[in-house]
Structure 1
Amino acid sequence: MRGENKRSVIVGIFVFLGIAILVAGVLTLGGQQKKFVKAIQLKAVFDDIGGLQTGNNIWFSGVKIGTVRKINFYGDSQVEIEMNVEEEVVEFIRKDSKATISSDGLIGNKIIIIYGGTTLAPPVVDGDRLESVMPLDTDKMMETLQVNNENLVEITGNLKNLTSKLAEGEGMVGAALTDSLLAESFRAIVKNLNQASVNSNRMINELNSFTSKLNQKGNLFNDLVTDTTMAADLRQSMESLKEAAANSEEMTQKLSTITDKFNDPNNSVGMLLNDPEFAKSLKSTLENADSATYNLNRGMDALEYTWPFNKGFKRKKKEEAKENN
């Protein structure tokens, strides 16, 4: 009798512990899924939920605020999600908030994230439908990553070929890296460039010094730039030079006309300068005149000794002798 009572007590204890564990589990699961808190229902429509299931969590600003209550087909090919959201956070979710589907970790369960919303919009109420935003398609992301990986492999292969050619001294760059003579030539070019840079800097310094001297007061260039009266004088001088140039041009034209006339054998001067027959005749005339003058002088000398003029010349000599005394 005592053994049966003892067995009954042990069985009762195990049954009690089982019931307690069951109740604790139910309470725990219910607490995690927000089964025993006041909640409102919100809805969102997606084209593709990507494996979202009933009971998955709903997050807002990094805080779990509810679970997925029900999944229904909507329209032609869309899916409507009914969400249980805690009533105590409703005041923070606005009617212009958005809902999207994400993952809990890299490969975790699907979750719904509510985000956005402004204080200009009122808080949501039971039965409101939030605007849905389609998440990134992981399949497309993987395809893109695959393409990027293939491109990366191709780029790596090209870099390998390039570095091998450089190591073997192929091409200009490879020759520059492996040919010592080319390296020396390049070094000489760099040296010459450095020297040219030094010379350029020196020339620039000299130009700066020259311009600073030109800018000193009393310098002719500075006076030309700053003195307004000198500028007026220069302008007047330029006008005078222009006038003189115009007069010179006019005089040149007149001289050209005169020289043209000198070259014209139809006038007396042109005939004197250009007619050889007239020049020959003039020369003969001058020779005859010279000969006549010579004969005249001889006749005058002989006239002194002729009888009619002998007394007159003697009288003239006496008067000249008296004047000399």
Structure 2
Amino acid sequence: MKAENKRSVIVGIFVFLGIAILVTGILTLGGQQKKFVKAIELRTVFDDIGGLQTGNNIWFSGVKIGTVKKINFYGDSQVEIIMNVEEEVVEFIRKDSKATLSSDGLIGNKIIVIYGGTTMAPPVENGDRLESVMPLDTDQMMETLQTNNENLVDITADLKVLTSKLADGEGIVGAVMTDSLLAENFRSILNNLAVASTNSNKMLAELNKFTAKLNQEGNLFNDLVTDTLMADQVRETLNTLQATAKNSEQMTEELKAITDKFNSSDNAMGVLLNDPEFAEDLKSFMINTDSATYNLNKGLEALPYTWPFRKGFKRQAKEAEKEGN
């Protein structure tokens, strides 16, 4: 009788322990799945959920706030996700928040991440639909990485060929890198450029000093720039010079007309200057005149010795002698 009671007690203990373990498991699973907390439903639509399943977690700012309640097909080959979200965090999720797919760890289960939202928008309500953002496709990423790897291999091969040519001194760059004479010339050019830069700086400093002196009051250039009275005088002088230039131009034209007349043979001055026959006649006339003048002088010198004029010249000589005494 005692053995049967003992067995019953042992069975009762194991049954109690089993029930306790079962209740604990149910409570644990219910707590993980958010089955025993107040929640609201939020919805979002994806083109591809990438293996997301019912019961997967919902995360917001790194905190688990709910689970995927249901997955339905929606529209043209789209998928609608119904999420259970804890009511106590609803005030932090805004109507302009977004939902995207991610994974729990590197190779973990798929999850939905809610992010974003501004304080200008009101908190979400039961049944609201969040805007979805498709994540980067890992297959496309792998294809892109593969393409980049192939391009990197090609670039590496080209760099190997280029560096080998540079090391062998081929091309302009290779010659510059390997030819010591070119290196010296290049160094000399740099030194000359440095000297030229120094000289340019000195010249700019001198120019600054010169312009500063020009801007000082009492300087002629400053007076020309700032003195309105002098500007009017300069303008008047320029106008006078312009009028003088016009008069000079007119006088030049008149002188040209006169010289043209001198070069013509239809006037007296032109005949005198340009007619060779008249010049010969004039020369002959001058020779004859000179000869007649010479003969006249000879006749006048011989006149006192002629008989009719001899007495008169002697009388004139005596009077002159008396006046001299």
User: TM-score, normalised on structure 1?
Assistant: 0.87
Deviates more, 1:124-133 or 1:289-298: 124-133
Inter-partner Cα distance in structure 1 for 2:65 and 2:314: 169
Inter-partner Cα distance in structure 1 for 2:301 and 2:127: 163
Aligned twin of 2:59: 59
Inter-partner Cα distance in structure 1 for 2:217 and 2:118: 71
Aligned in 2, Cα 1:42/1:197: closer, same or farther, shift over 3 Å? Answer: closer
The C-alpha deviation readout for 1:32-87, integer Å capped at 9, x for no partner, is 11111222333333222110111111122332121112222334422222222223
Inter-partner Cα distance in structure 1 for 2:215 and 2:65: 80
Is 2:156 the partner of 1:148? no
Aligned in 2, Cα 1:130/1:188: closer, same or farther, shift over 3 Å? Answer: closer
How far off its partner does 1:214 sit? Answer: 3.4
Identity %: 76
Aligned in 2, Cα 1:239/1:86: closer, same or farther, shift over 3 Å? Answer: closer
Q: How does 1:143-222 map to 2 (within 5 A)?
A: 143-222=143-222
Aligned in 2, Cα 1:76/1:295: closer, same or farther, shift over 3 Å? Answer: closer
AA aligned to 1:291 is S
Aligned twin of 2:73: 73
How far off its partner does 1:226 sit? Answer: 3.2
Please give the secondary structure, in 2, of the residue aligned with 1:304: helix
How far off its partner does 1:213 sit? Answer: 3.6
Inter-partner Cα distance in structure 2 for 1:268 and 1:118: 112
Aligned twin of 2:237: 237
Aligned twin of 1:107: 107
Inter-partner Cα distance in structure 1 for 2:76 and 2:41: 23
The C-alpha deviation readout for 1:206-253, integer Å capped at 9, x for no partner, is 333333343444443333333333333333332332233222222222
How far off its partner does 1:23 sit? Answer: 2.1
Please give the secondary structure, in 1, of the residue aligned with 2:265: coil
Deviates more, 1:182-191 or 1:283-292: 283-292
Gap regions ≥5 residues in structure 2: none
How far off its partner does 1:294 sit? Answer: 2.0
Inter-partner Cα distance in structure 1 for 2:244 and 2:69: 109
Is 2:299 the partner of 1:299? yes
Aligned twin of 1:19: 19
Aligned twin of 2:45: 45
Aligned in 2, Cα 1:179/1:31: closer, same or farther, shift over 3 Å? Answer: same
The C-alpha deviation readout for 1:87-114, integer Å capped at 9, x for no partner, is 3333443444433322122322111223
How far off its partner does 1:12 sit? Answer: 4.1
Please give the secondary structure, in 2, of the residue aligned with 1:48: coil
Q: How does 1:270-289 map to 2 (within 5 A)?
A: 270-289=270-289
How far off its partner does 1:5 sit? Answer: 5.2
Aligned in 2, Cα 1:210/1:27: closer, same or farther, shift over 3 Å? Answer: same
Aligned in 2, Cα 1:263/1:194: closer, same or farther, shift over 3 Å? Answer: same
Inter-partner Cα distance in structure 1 for 2:219 and 2:125: 89
Aligned twin of 2:269: 269
Please give the secondary structure, in 1, of the residue aligned with 2:81: strand
Deviates more, 1:55-64 or 1:69-78: 69-78
AA aligned to 1:284 is S
Aligned in 2, Cα 1:71/1:246: closer, same or farther, shift over 3 Å? Answer: closer
Deviates more, 1:310-319 or 1:126-135: 126-135
AA aligned to 1:223 is D
Aligned twin of 1:137: 137
AA aligned to 1:296 is L
Aligned in 2, Cα 1:198/1:3: closer, same or farther, shift over 3 Å? Answer: same
Paired positions, count: 325
Inter-partner Cα distance in structure 2 for 1:118 and 1:194: 58
AA aligned to 1:228 is T
User: TM-score, normalised on structure 2?
Assistant: 0.87
The C-alpha deviation readout for 1:283-322, integer Å capped at 9, x for no partner, is 2222222222222222222222223222221221122222
Inter-partner Cα distance in structure 1 for 2:22 and 2:69: 23
Aligned twin of 2:310: 310
Aligned in 2, Cα 1:116/1:266: closer, same or farther, shift over 3 Å? Answer: closer
Please give the secondary structure, in 2, of the residue aligned with 1:41: strand
Inter-partner Cα distance in structure 2 for 1:234 and 1:99: 81
How far off its partner does 1:269 sit? Answer: 2.0
AA aligned to 2:38 is K
Aligned in 2, Cα 1:121/1:307: closer, same or farther, shift over 3 Å? Answer: closer
Gap regions ≥5 residues in structure 1: none
